A and B are shown apart, each in its own frame.
Chain A
């Protein structure tokens, strides 16, 4: 079966660092994507991991451990505009994406 788990909600303070975890159990694995989604808007691509390790992209980093079925998204120097839902999505052998329920992050001043 397919299962992707993320915390439902998180809160953090402006300027802080937050880590959003994602665990997955899928029948195949061909990459993991993180998307940001503001309410009522389209998911926008943040990062991609297919090999174990850390990928860094400015204030955002993403980590993958395939053996543990685990990824996290790290957001540094949080800004108010980072308040959004963060979606973990796994690509299996075919190209469809399987999404988690998303983590709603609220950043407070």
Chain B
């Protein structure tokens, strides 16, 4: 069964450094998402992306965050200058449909980001 893949599985970075989290969505999916989950807390929406542009972003997704689809397969999340509070599990998700439709968002296994 096709799946969303994320790399790396764990990233340790010094505060203030830039990180890029990578995702390969399911090949026929058109809608892409990033969510994060701070340890012990709920999954939170960051950003949605369709047709090579951001569809929606949350308050968390400030100027330090950016997303890109540099080629036909990868979808990346960049944090420009990391803060301690960015430490979390970051999940990439993709879906065939956006609004409407019964097809769910499929999640990758996540990247655990630890900021020191």
Contacts and interface: CB of A to CB of B under 8 A. Distances in A.
Nearest to B6: A42
Interface residues of B, number: 28
Given A45-B106, A94-B55, 7 more contacts: A30-B99, A44-B107, A45-B104, A50-B102, A89-B43, A94-B99, A95-B99
A91 interface: yes
Contacts of A48: 102, 104
B68 interface: no
Contacts of B48: 94-96
Given A33-B104, A41-B109, A44-B107, A94 B56 contact: yes
Interface string A71-109: 000000000000000010101011111111110000000
Contacts, number: 63
Interface of B: 4, 31, 33, 35, 41-45, 48, 55-56, 58, 89, 91, 95, 97-100, 102, 104-110
A99 B42 contact: yes
Interface of A: 30-31, 33, 35, 40-45, 48, 50, 87, 89, 91, 93-102
A35 B58 CA distance: 21
Nearest to A34: B104
A42 B107 contact: yes
A42 B110 contact: yes
A8 to B, nearest CB: 11
Contact of A102 (B4, B42, B58, B108): B42
Nearest to B107: A42
A26 to B, nearest CB: 13
A99 B44 contact: yes
14 contacts: A30-B100, A31-B100, A40-B89, A42-B108, A45-B105, A87-B43, A94-B55, A95-B31, A95-B33, A95-B48, A95-B95, A96-B48, A96-B56, A96-B58
